[in-house]
Amino acid sequence: MGRGNAATIDNRLVRAFARQTLEYLRSVEKLANVEISVVAIDASRSYRVGPRRACEQAMDRMGIHCFATPSRQEFDEIRVKVRHHLNRGGALNRLPHSHQLWMLVGFALFEVLSGHYECLEVFPQAITSVLGAAGIHKSRAQGYERQLSALASNTGWDAEELSRQLGACAYGPGHDRLDAYMCAWVASLYPDRVIACGDPPDDVIWVPDVEKFPVHGQN
């Protein structure tokens, strides 16, 4: 929404954003005359309880790096740090814990949207990893092309045409559009063609079952 990480510590704004997201999805259903059943969210579902979430431990075993989700108490402390930083006139691009603040938005999205849809926690890096296309970061041209090719070959698209379609239907840089597409793809595969990494139903990251979707075009 362009409000920046500083807005994530304002629970009122975050909840409003989650409700606006629900309204947007409902408008899509009405406009396209469809009924959304599953929504994939690229964010943590909830605060950590215990030493580390089961899904994050699963990522560790798979050799996939992911940021640790703080506990509720740790996030309370993080909010205090962020407010102190801002009150001192600290720069927005130097907010403490900026690599974790976005998780607060994810919590709100899961809370609001789960009342209307089946919501899955997904992680694009894990998706591209199981597809064998995560060696080069997607922000680089070669990494983007490799991931695009892997996604296209598994979802029935020509890679160039898929790239054009993503450019017409989603916002943001190309690699963010690709993330959105692969997350939506996993949602479309649920529940029979995905694998649960972690402890279902609430502490799990979902990835495609590559045994059921042979991978092609990864060169």
pLDDT at 1: 53
Most confident of 161-170, 171-180, 181-190: 181-190
> In the predicted model, is pLDDT for residue 168 greater than 80?
yes
Spatial contact of 133 and 126, defined as CB atoms under 8 Å apart: no
- Which DSSP helix (H) or strand (E) runs through 166? helix 159-169
> Which amino acid is it at 56?
E
pLDDT (average), residues 154-179: 92
42 has pLDDT over 60: yes
Residue 140 pLDDT class (50, 70, 90 cuts): confident
3-class SS string, 95-131: CCCHHHHHHHHHHHHHHHHCCCCEEEECCHHHHHHHC
Tell me how far apart the alpha carbons of residues 37 and 117 are, in angstroms, rounded to a whole number.
5
Are 95 and 82 in contact by the 8 Å Cβ rule? The answer is yes
Q: How far is CA 77 from CA 10, 68, 166, 218, in A?
A: 14, 15, 39, 44
Average confidence (pLDDT) over 190-206: 96
- The domain locations on the chain are 1-121, 124-219
Q: β-strands 38-41, 118-121: how paired?
A: parallel
Residue 216 above 50 pLDDT?
Answer: no
Between residues 133 and 45, the one the model is more confident about: 45
